[in-house]
Amino acid sequence: MSQCCKIMVTMILTDNFIFFAMKFILFMAFFFFIGRGFLILFSKIIEIDNLKVAGLNVYIFYPVLGVILFGNYLFLLNFFLPLNTLLIFLILLMLIPNLQSVPTYKLFKKSCRNFFLYLLLLIPSYDLAYHYDAGLYHLNYQALLRESNIMLGISNIYGPYGIGSIYDYISAALWFDESFVLLQFVNLLFIILFYELLTNILFTRRNKMLNHAGLALLLFSILDNFGYGGGRNGFLYIQSLGKQDIALAVLYFVTVVLIFLSISKKEFTHIEILIPTIFSLFIIQLKVSGVTIVLFYLFYLYKVIQNKGLKSASLFSILSATLLGILWSLKSLLQTGCLIYPLEISCIDNISWLNREYTKVTLESAQAFSISYDFNSSFVRWIERFVDYEINQIILSNFLISLVVIYFVFFKQKTFNFSSPISPIISLSMFNIFFFLYYGPHLRYLIATQLLFVFLIGYSRTPRIPLHSRTIYIAVIFSLVSLVRLNSYKSFDAFSHPRHDIPVPELVSYNNRFIPKEGDQCWSVSECSPNLQSYKIEKFGFFQKVSLETPK
């Protein structure tokens, strides 16, 4: 067979939606069994699949646990090696514990119950574009991770590199697929986790209040399609490529719910402590703005200790996560000179690559972009300025309308008293609002808090009209179908495989490197930076060090 014929046959077999879907199935299965292997190994429970976590099926957490394990392996590996090494595949060793407990047909049947519905989430890949921030710093940072082990003072190349997420480590390792669709697959695993959690709490027979909370969330997802400006009320959405905001929102919400349910039931088994511990760590690693989860997690540990639920196995898990958190802070210190970048109070002056002035500029730029509130000026004027942006006005208006509709139209006050401790979630949600007002209230950062408010409405009230389980499931299907935009359905082509090629910017030479000819996006060109200050990269022992040069 000629080379030309071979190419044509390959294209026919791979350039279609079936091959694309198979790739996603393998991707999800890989992380499913990595997560499962991790739990078998560290919980030392062979019959792991039958366990419940706060009353929820443990297997719904496997894929995301696999992603978390992979991300932490990569960030540790990058202390010594660039991420274009074949050693990234050593994570395959975590598949071995699955042989101790071979997955059963029952597990596949339960875990794949909604899987074909989730294939709908692949459709947006046919018209999905990169987020602006992907070209601004995410892809460029990932390119540097692939080319070098940890760089000292990397934030001096460009400030936003200092807030690099563990998501960037995961994404950098997935560049081996030249279509770059794997970057979107990671996001989809978190959306699937949310819907798996939703169906679990909707159909559990053990907790009516949880059913009601699930129903409120389901109604919120449906109302997202209607309202002022065509809809959008702050519910989850298919985010542009290269951003981790939806993953953060889902994991933050899921972690708070798990902790809340565990405290309510006063059940603190090893697995019920392990999973929120791992999730809390990953939330901080995803984005520094997720740091408020620490408050709720510490409250959770207090309750665990108060109820004498802290056993040696759980203590080991907590200490292991704490060690990883310390190493993550060390990574930040090495890359920026600050433990929490760009928080100036956390910066250490004795570190030679720290530049406080540039660190301050980075923080102020982020706050200015998000229209932060300084608590000294008029709040009314700030609100007026905030809603001048049409998208903020649309989301905020529809969110408030959705809350009123769910609270008064679909739900009513309970006819009985309940003693579940919802006040900690209310306190956390209010603290989040003040935190984001000051540090940058972009509404995509508040998705988890919005979901928590809706959850609490359903949990503390009761539906006016009881719904049959079949009606509820149909509504879940509608929620999933409507999550995909109409334009994405129009762009779908069953006889092609989507690609997300990284744009190539037009550059100009500048101080022995490059800057964008227009705008500030370098995309994946590691020799490019929109930072107009001069910097130098030099060998510093085992590492490379980046320092800003003082103007002459």
pLDDT value of residue 12: 59
In tens, the pLDDT along 53-104 reads 988 999 999 999 999 999 999 999 999 999 999 999 999 999 999 999 899 8
Report the alpha-carbon distance of residue 409 to residue 284 in Å, rounded: 37
Residues 6+ apart with CB under 8 A from 49: 36, 58, 59, 101, 103, 104, 106, 107
18 in helix, strand or coil?
Answer: helix
pLDDT value of residue 5: 54
Q: Which of 21, 480, 404 lies closest to 236 in space, CA to CA?
A: 480
**Cα dihedral value 158, 162, 167, 168, nearest 10:** 40
Judged against a pLDDT cut of 80, whether residue 545 lies above it is answered with yes
Mean pLDDT of 154-179: 95
Mean pLDDT of 504-509: 96
Answer yes or no: are the C-beta atoms of 472 and 410 closer than 8 Å: no
pLDDT value of residue 220: 97
What is each CA distance from 107 to 22, 59, 93, in whole angstroms? 20, 8, 22
Q: Which of 289, 267, 245 lies closest to 439 in space, CA to CA?
A: 289
Segments making up each domain of the chain, as ranges: 3-123+131-414+425-491
If one compares 479 and 435, the residue with the highest pLDDT of the two is 479
Its sign, for the CA torsion 319, 324, 328, 333, is positive
In tens, the pLDDT along 103-141 reads 988 999 988 889 889 999 999 999 999 999 999 999 999
Report the alpha-carbon distance of residue 255 to residue 168 in Å, rounded: 22
pTM of the model: 0.95
pLDDT value of residue 549: 82
Q: pLDDT exceeding 90 applies to what percent of the chain?
A: 73
Judged against a pLDDT cut of 90, whether residue 173 lies above it is answered with yes
Question: What is the average pLDDT value for the chain, to the nearest integer?
Answer: 91
